[in-house]
Amino acid sequence: MPQSSDKKRPVRTADGSVTLYSERFDECYHSTRDGALRESLQKHILPAFSLLPPKEEITILDVCFGLGYNSWTTLHYLRKHSSPEKVTILSPEFDRELVASLQNFDYPSEFEPLRPIIEAVSREGVYEEERFRIEILFGDARERIPEIDRPVDIVYQDPFSPKKNPLLWTREYFAELRRIVSDDVIVTTYSSATPVRMGLYENGFLLYEPPSEGVRSGTVASLRPLDLKPIDMELKKQRNPAAASMRDADFL
Ligand X SMILES: C[S@@+](CC[C@H](N)C(=O)[O-])C[C@H]1O[C@@H](n2cnc3c(N)ncnc32)[C@H](O)[C@@H]1O
List of residues contacting ligand X (CB under 6 A) = 3, 29, 40, 64, 66-70, 92-95, 98, 140-142, 158-160, 165, 168
DSSP 3-state of 21: strand
Residue nearest ligand X (C-beta atom): 66
Compare residues 29 and 174 and give the one whose CB is closer to ligand X.
29
* Cβ within 8 Å of residue 221, ≥6 positions away: 186, 187, 189, 200, 205, 206, 207, 208
> What is the secondary structure of 99-112 as a DSSP string?
HHHGGG----GGGG
- Minimum distance between the CB of residue 3 and ligand X, rounded to whole angstroms? 5
Compare residues 98 and 233 and give the one whose CB is closer to ligand X.
98
Is-cis flag, bond preceding 64, omega within 30? yes
At position 121, the amino acid (one-letter code) is: V
Q: Where are the alpha helices (DSSP H) in the chain?
A: 36-39, 46-51, 69-78, 96-101, 115-124, 141-144, 171-180, 194-201, 233-239
- Minimum distance between the CB of residue 230 and ligand X, rounded to whole angstroms? 26
- Minimum distance between the CB of residue 31 and ligand X, rounded to whole angstroms? 10
Compare residues 25 and 237 and give the one whose CB is closer to ligand X.
25
Compare residues 46 and 67 and give the one whose CB is closer to ligand X.
67
Compare residues 60 and 67 and give the one whose CB is closer to ligand X.
67
CA contacts within 13 A on the Cβ side of 125 = 12
For the chain, give the number of residues: 252
